[in-house]
Amino acid sequence: MAVYDIEHDTTYRYDSAVLLSQQIAHLRPRERAGQHTLAHRLEIEPVPAELGERSDFFGNPVTAFALYAPHAQLVVRACSRIRVEPPGWPEPAASPPWEAARDHLRDGLSGHAPLQAGARDAGQYRFASPFVALGDEARAYADYALQSFSAGRPLIDALLALSARIHADFRFDPEATSVATPVAEVFAARSGVCQDFSHLLIACLRALGLAARYVSGYLLTAPPPGQPRLVGADASHAWVAVWCPGLGWVDVDPTNDMQPAAGHITLAWGRDYGDVCPLRGVILGGGGHAVDVAVTVMPVAEGMDAEGEGAAGG
């Protein structure tokens, strides 16, 4: 088990006054098996006129807030204390053939076979979404995926092989893409960041008829040997989960060619990045803007109160 304090700071600076701002934040980590939020608070400056919490369509916690007074800067700080237990992923070879997962979803959702628990929810993750187009590109994604998804290969074994292929074939380059870069361009350029590699893996899996969802979160990173952890030096992260009959959702991190462990902290999940963007909204005024984001994931030392006292607060 590990306990982490997480600070996620976002600052928007506008060229002129914003007269009205309505925002939605995915900044409270999601509860899931092996992960529990011990404490969480959201600090917003200026103080919003309206603020409320709810769950979105995918079950993620959401904070909605609105500002009606003119402001030239918006600062949002999320502080969380999270307890994480290492996941116990199933043996890859013990998973069913990947075609069985595809056929179960296809036949069950069409009414030709009974569905296993969770399959109906998983079915919504089989199709194209705003950040994962499956038009003319779908054939290319399927051909690429089939290099790993040979006939009869266990689903998780094939998933890990495809993740390793993306890790080997694509170069991590934070300057190569933006949030709006289409998956097809990432596929052609063979470079991008965790968001891009996750969207690409999802596109490949959906092109084969499998259910794959986008998971956003944080990753504990290691500082250089002999140096302390730097405040604000971490970043948001993203990976993928695929639905497997009888086993449920199984996660994989193509950016690091691994299955998530205790250092991965889940924030939210959806069809793609657009469903789980940490902060998005609409404003009136403002002109141009600059945004700064700083994330710190700090292990809580043994012996400290793990029930929320300290950095995360109430």
* Residues 228 and 249 occupy one common structural domain: yes
* Residues 172 and 81 occupy one common structural domain: no
Residue 266: inside a domain: no
Residue 195 zone, left/alpha/beta (φ > 0; ψ -120 to 50; rest): alpha
Q: Is the peptide bond before 46 cis (omega within 30 degrees of 0)?
A: yes
**Closest to 147 (Cα-Cα) out of 166, 170, 171:** 166
The distance in angstroms from the start CA to the end CA of the chain is 21
* Residues 31 and 71 occupy one common structural domain: yes
* Residues 221 and 104 occupy one common structural domain: yes
Q: Is the pLDDT at 201 greater than 60, yes or no?
A: yes
Is residue 31 within 8 A of residue 67, CB to CB? The reply is: no
* Residues 39 and 66 occupy one common structural domain: yes
* Residues 100 and 80 occupy one common structural domain: no
Q: Is the pLDDT at 224 greater than 90, yes or no?
A: no
Written as six digits, the tokens of 308 are 């929320």
Averaged over 95-110, what is the pLDDT? Answer: 87
Residue 252: inside a domain: yes
The pLDDT of residue 303 is: 58
* Residues 54 and 96 occupy one common structural domain: no
* Residues 236 and 168 occupy one common structural domain: yes
Residue-wise pLDDT for 11-69, tens only, equals 999 999 999 999 999 999 999 999 999 999 999 999 999 999 999 999 999 999 999 99
* Residues 31 and 117 occupy one common structural domain: no
Residue-wise pLDDT for 174-198, tens only, equals 899 988 899 999 999 999 999 999 9
Q: Give me the CATH number covering residue 246.
A: 3.10.620.30
Residue with the bigger pLDDT between 118 and 26: it is: 26
d(CA 152, CA 289) in angstroms, rounded, equals 52
Spell out the residues 6+ positions from residue 221 whose beta carbon is closer than 8 angstroms to its own.
233, 234, 297
Written as six digits, the tokens of 81 are 């204390």
Predicted model pTM: 0.91
* Residues 138 and 221 occupy one common structural domain: yes
Residue-wise pLDDT for 231-268, tens only, equals 666 778 999 999 999 899 999 999 999 999 889 999 99
Residue 173: inside a domain: yes
Q: Which domain holds residue 117?
A: 92-260
Number of domains in the chain: 2
The pLDDT of residue 271 is: 97
